[in-house]
Structure 1
Amino acid sequence: MNAASPSALRHCKVAIIGTGFSGLGMAIRLKQKNETDFLLFEKEGGVGGTWRVNHYPGCACDVQSHLYSFSFAPNPNWTRMFAPQPEIKDYLEGCWQHFQLQDRTLLNTEIKRLEWDETQQFWLIETTNGVRYSAQFVVSGMGGLSTPSIPSLKGLDTFTGKVFHSQQWDHDYDLDSKRVAVIGTGASAIQFVPQIQKRVARLDLYQRTPPWIMPKPDRRIGEKEQRRFRRFPALQKLWRGGIYAFLEARVLGFAISPQILRIASLVARHHLHKQIKDPKLRGQLTPDYTMGCKRVLISNDYFPAVAQPNVKLVTQGIAEIRSNSIVTADGHERHIDAIIFGTGFTPSDPIPRGVIFGRDGLDLVDSWPQGPEAYKGTVTAGFPNLFFLMGPNTGLGHSSMVYMIESQINYVIDALSQLDGLQLRSLEVKREAQDHFNQKILGSMDRTVWNSGGCNSWYLHPVSGRNCTIWPGFTWRFRQITKHFDPAAYHFNRLPALNATANPHTQAAAQELNA
């Protein structure tokens, strides 16, 4: 894109990309701070993010409903302990409507290119439909679970049957009496396999590594309980706090002393033994790595489904795919009508090449040769005025991502407020601050189960092997370090006038860096 003045484009102060928990949360908090000069960009035809586009059978959250929601928008009407996808989608749509964000939202508007204009100190935005915008700040709420991961399999392009990923579920395709191959046994697969097993003639389940699966403590939340939460909001807040404390205690096993997880693994082994009677099948479903190294899953109906006569668990690797069959490494050919990928997403490479260009035209992907990294998971050197929500090393293996998102939102809000007070045009994190922060993250990773548990998970970058996904500690600690914007870690570019009443720490940093 060629540089242009803000008047030549539709300009806003803050451009927010995505309308999942991150994007909607950012917009709501901006509005609550009386900042209305923002736009929400959403490529889909409605809001909800991953909870809109993922609608496969059985789709549900694996974090308790009352914690997997905004603290500033409690919902007393959850019908289950673990909310199904339609309820979470309805909740997000309800927040969008309640906080009246409709007139600030651009639906069916996909970002094609973001480019930093150094001369004018703002972002140029081009959408796939050719419309151009500019913004002083960009907040990316695209999330790490938005780009489907489809493995490169020999002959996949020659398959003549139906093929789709769990995120792109084709509800118009009739699975009844079909021969279906499910590739992958991750979080999505263990939810949809029990749903489709009852319909298909045969299900070939291709497993590379068995997951650890715990019983799912789910139950219905009745109307009486919902009424109590509606009548006594403090009771719901207390319940939410109890869930948070219970989940936070799991950090002790994941990040501090993985030996603690041996107790949980005994529960998982008992769960497996109770539901799978066939010793050979049980052996195939038993993980050989430390619990927690990969994402721990919860399900009460996956093992019973896999044990059904019309399901074949295939542990041999796939050699090739033919026009109507899959051939495994042992030479066995299985004829099928459809392939469903339950292979998850690419959180270690969340943003494709050729979309975001920072200072000197540098592609964001090229700035991360060892995998994504950021300062406090939120900003990265060379990309002024760009904030990431659910950025590098903010993922969790034990609790609610909404808690992390709210922590980052508060940090961004404080940054924007201090920049306003000083009439600063732009900020950029110092490279040395970013490097120091990430060295501390890497040092903390060594003792965690994600790095030492003996598995190769999607938490790790495929090239460098660096864990650029997970936050290696307590979530309250992350909230501590993002509670206040820390100007000493940044470079600034200011407007001519300097507000003498602004935060003295920010003012001092701005004066020093612009001297």
Structure 2
Amino acid sequence: MPAQGPEHEAVVVGAGFAGIGLAIALKRAGIENFILLEKAADIGGTWRDNTYPGLAVDIPAFTYSFGFAPRADWSRLYPSGREIKQYADGVVKQFRLRPHLRLNSTVTGAKFDETSDMWHVSLADGAELTCRFLLSCQGALSTPSVPALDGLDDFRGHVMHTARWDHDHDLRGARVAVVGTGATALQLVPEIAEVSAHLTVFQRTPIWVFPKFNPPIPRPLQALIRAFPALHRALRLVTTAFVEALVTGVVHHRRFKPMVDVVERLSLLHLRAQVPDRKLRAKLRPRYGFGCKRPSFSNDYWRTFTRAHVDLVTSGIDRITPDGVLDRDGVEHPADTLILATGFKLFDISFPIIGRDGGELSDFWSRHRRQAYEGVAVPGFPNLFLVPGPYGNVGLSWFQMIDVVVPHVVRVLNEARRRRASCVEVRQDAHDRYMAWVTSRMPDTVFFNGNCASANSYYFDEHGDAPWLRPTNTAPAKRRSRNFPLDDYAYSEASTTTR
């Protein structure tokens, strides 16, 4: 008797913007038999989880949004995190994704059945789902990175990670210690300085900071944008060109070094204007190249360190004490609250994914380094697509990645339907060609030319690779996603599968 077919044509894991964008694309392609699994009680990914004071998007909103779902009524060029979450809710409603959505559904494992060409997906509540295609959209900023600090468990005060903000904890009049000086701390530190009695910030590496042009968008202009879609497209084009100019300095660092030098000088002029004290400026000045770690924009971050009740510690942390933080110079800094602004684990697959012959994806990457064809598919893992996988992200906006990776996935799924194939797997030779291309392009990037070893950047993994970013600009990546040879995948049908 032939085996039963899968319950769903596709299971999408993760209801952040990547999962939302892919779900919309599936519906547009006529694929309705899919579910969108989300481990939390709400959608939105990082914009659901992060609610710390000062949270805002650091990409202009006209670029940080779906081109097919424009919003005219952004309050500012760089709106708050609350507005971005509202945008996510609106898109889910607009494209009627709720019937496909299953909240509070934590995936604990996925295994490919080679006899029937389907994935068995296990959930924390004991349920099991079957699907033809497993589409992993777990996001890059979903698993908080908690540093291994000696004595952390002995701290008598209040501890919280910025991605798990405790709004019931009052910082007014408190002695606060913040660990981390990345893009999150850049937004958070000025806000805490306004209410705390004393603020101590522990910096491992400084961050490149640029002035933030963030004007409010008045209602008459919002009305014009709404009435004239071409105006919205023009604004999106301008802000995207600005973002792409920054990306060019990262992925083509060696060729565009003079441009990068100008960008760095602009940042240093901003630092000089904000911090008159030469010794303090020296502590805040990055010693690595622009782009080694994510830069950001602020008009008050650097200035905050000139305030009398704010201290910057750069000697490193020796350990956490019951009443504060002991630095490596032997000075103890008293604190009532310890805030970990220490970012996230990139490409952290939160459950085992077992492909052909019992191979597990995270183990494969651990042994063979992170790799994926076009940042989407891995040989040995049929019917699995990553949004994104290693070397799949482009640009600085998450939506630029979605615009590249999602069309790739949908093209392959449509081709599988056309060929009536139940199994799709990237060919090893095609995968190897892509990875050879990546390897040939990496020497031109800042990661090979910008003294990045001193940056302590999350762009780098345990192998010393920088698999976060595809070494190209967005436009050629978009063209590639719409024109790569579909025969770079092998298509087949299991003899035991019914339709």
The equivalent residue for 1:512 is none
The equivalent residue for 1:506 is none
Q: Work out whether residues 461 and 467 of structure 2, in 8 Å CA contact, stay in contact via their aligned partners in 1.
A: no
The equivalent residue for 2:289 is 290
Q: Work out whether residues 244 and 399 of structure 1, in 8 Å CA contact, stay in contact via their aligned partners in 2.
A: no
* 1:207 positional shift: 0.2
- Paired residues, what number? 489
1:489 paired with 2:485, answer no
Runs of 4 or more off by more than 6 Å in structure 1? Answer: none
The equivalent residue for 1:231 is 227
CA distance in structure 2 between the aligned counterparts of 1:271 and 1:5, rounded to whole angstroms: 66
CA distance in structure 2 between the aligned counterparts of 1:80 and 1:134, rounded to whole angstroms: 44
1:158 paired with 2:154, answer yes
The equivalent residue for 1:254 is 250
CA distance in structure 2 between the aligned counterparts of 1:295 and 1:401, rounded to whole angstroms: 13
The equivalent residue for 2:272 is 273
Q: Work out whether residues 143 and 391 of structure 1, in 8 Å CA contact, stay in contact via their aligned partners in 2.
A: no
Percent identity between matched residues is 36
1:52 paired with 2:48, answer yes
Q: Work out whether residues 212 and 296 of structure 1, in 8 Å CA contact, stay in contact via their aligned partners in 2.
A: yes
Query: In the superposition, relative to structure 1, how do residues 458 and 493 fare at CA in structure 2: closer, same or farther (>3 Å)?
Result: farther
The equivalent residue for 2:420 is 423
1:197 paired with 2:196, answer no
Cα RMSD of the aligned pairs, angstroms, is 1.8
Q: Work out whether residues 161 and 324 of structure 1, in 8 Å CA contact, stay in contact via their aligned partners in 2.
A: yes
CA distance in structure 2 between the aligned counterparts of 1:155 and 1:362, rounded to whole angstroms: 38
Q: Within 5 Å, give how 1:141-156 maps onto structure 2.
A: 141-156=137-152
* 1:337 positional shift: 1.1
* 1:86 positional shift: 0.6
Give the TM-score of the pair, scaled to structure 2: 0.94
Give secondary structure in 2 for the equivalent of 1:229: helix
Q: Work out whether residues 62 and 82 of structure 1, in 8 Å CA contact, stay in contact via their aligned partners in 2.
A: yes
1:127 paired with 2:136, answer no
**Match for residue 218 of structure 1 among 214, 233, 239:** 214
The amino acid across from 1:326 in the alignment is V
Give the TM-score of the pair, scaled to structure 1: 0.91
Give secondary structure in 2 for the equivalent of 1:129: coil
CA distance in structure 2 between the aligned counterparts of 1:123 and 1:496, rounded to whole angstroms: 16
Residues 29-66 of structure 1, C-alpha deviation per residue, up to 9 Å, x if partnerless?
A: 11122221010001111111111111111111111101
Q: Work out whether residues 258 and 448 of structure 1, in 8 Å CA contact, stay in contact via their aligned partners in 2.
A: no
1:344 paired with 2:340, answer no
Q: Work out whether residues 18 and 137 of structure 2, in 8 Å CA contact, stay in contact via their aligned partners in 1.
A: yes
* 1:6 positional shift: 5.0
Greater relative CO (CA pairs within 8 A, separation 6+): 2
The amino acid across from 1:476 in the alignment is A
Q: Work out whether residues 292 and 459 of structure 2, in 8 Å CA contact, stay in contact via their aligned partners in 1.
A: no
1:110 paired with 2:106, answer yes
CA distance in structure 1 between the aligned counterparts of 2:43 and 2:260, rounded to whole angstroms: 38
**Match for residue 168 of structure 1 among 147, 164, 169:** 164
The amino acid across from 2:71 in the alignment is N
Give secondary structure in 2 for the equivalent of 1:483: helix
Structure 2 residues without counterparts, runs of 5 or longer: none
CA distance in structure 2 between the aligned counterparts of 1:460 and 1:235, rounded to whole angstroms: 35
The amino acid across from 1:470 in the alignment is L
* 1:317 positional shift: 1.2
Residues 159-204 of structure 1, C-alpha deviation per residue, up to 9 Å, x if partnerless?
A: 2221111111111111111111100000101101111111111111
Query: In the superposition, relative to structure 1, how do residues 6 and 70 fare at CA in structure 2: closer, same or farther (>3 Å)?
Result: farther
1:39 paired with 2:5, answer no
Q: Work out whether residues 57 and 192 of structure 1, in 8 Å CA contact, stay in contact via their aligned partners in 2.
A: yes
CA distance in structure 1 between the aligned counterparts of 2:444 and 2:19, rounded to whole angstroms: 33
